[in-house]
A and B are shown apart, each in its own frame.
Chain A
Amino acid sequence: MNAYAYLVAFLLAVITDLLVDNVVLSRFYGICSFIGVGDQVKSASSMGFAVTIVIILSSAICWPIYYFILVPAGLPFMDTLVYILVIASLVQAVGLFIKKNSPALYKSLGIYLPLITTNCAVLGVAQSNTDSGLLAGQTLAENFGFSMASAIGTSLGYLLIIVVFACIRTRLETYSVPKAFKGIPIALITAAIMALALVGLAGLGS
């Protein structure tokens, strides 16, 4: 694959995971934090940025461990256990760094920082990057590039959707919503309409 074709394929992979195959609204990962944190723009953006960093770093670490250590050792079935260890260590390390060097960011993230460990979007991305395996004629370097494209697209997709959802819910607070729809029902209807909007982009990445 030449450099231009690779760059185009890389960008298409990012856009596909960002919009068409969105992690929250198409694959239903990270719904807990999406509903729980998506009521304030500041909390949502803080959570989104933290998850973005952890998804990209964990994907960059998990992929080489799988292909260069677990597969040659005949232990590919241990992938989930190893990924959980990587993600938990990474979240602790990032948390430690923020706690020591950036009190403002620590205060802004608050409880959400350790809870990234339990965000299934992080594990889901690392798992799906290695589950797909090598395509015919694809080198390991190309596969790693596409895995990183998937990680970048997925994490930015999470950030985009959670922030947009928080903005919509902030505006909904000022509208007179029927009593039966207040709270979670109207939030779920909003999420459904957002998912329908993304369905309209299907075919963009093909």
Chain B
Amino acid sequence: MSQLGYLLIAVGVILVLLAIFFVTFVLYRKTPVPKGCEKLPSAESCSKCGLGEGCALNIYAKKEDPKK
């Protein structure tokens, strides 16, 4: 097969991967959260480095005092 053929296949594979990502993303969002898991912390609250305040991964962030 010529290099152009491989190039077209590569572009096709990348497009298929993109399509799979968007389909799984939409399906993941549309799938209802199982019972009892409604109050889990959201991934959006993560600061990636785990050092930000309000991040579920960060065990040293300031926690709210339950007495207040």
Contact residues of A with B, CB < 8 Å? Answer: 32-33, 35-37, 39, 65, 69-70, 72-75, 78, 81-82, 85-86, 88-89, 92-93, 95-96, 99-100, 103, 106-107, 110-112, 114-115, 118, 183-184
What's the nearest-Cβ distance from chain A to residue B14, in Å?
Answer: 6
Interface extent on B, as a size class?
35 or more
Q: Is the interface of B mostly helix, strand, loop or mixed?
A: loop
What's the nearest-Cβ distance from chain A to residue B8, in Å?
Answer: 8
- Give the residues in chain B near A35, CB-CB below 8 Å: 50
- Give the residues in chain B near A103, CB-CB below 8 Å: 34-37
* A78 vs B17: C-alpha distance when bound (angstroms): 13
- Give the residues in chain A near B20, CB-CB below 8 Å: 89, 93
* A75 vs B6: C-alpha distance when bound (angstroms): 10
Are A33 and B41 in contact, CB atoms less than 8 angstroms apart? no
Are A95 and B28 in contact, CB atoms less than 8 angstroms apart? yes
* A90 vs B18: C-alpha distance when bound (angstroms): 12
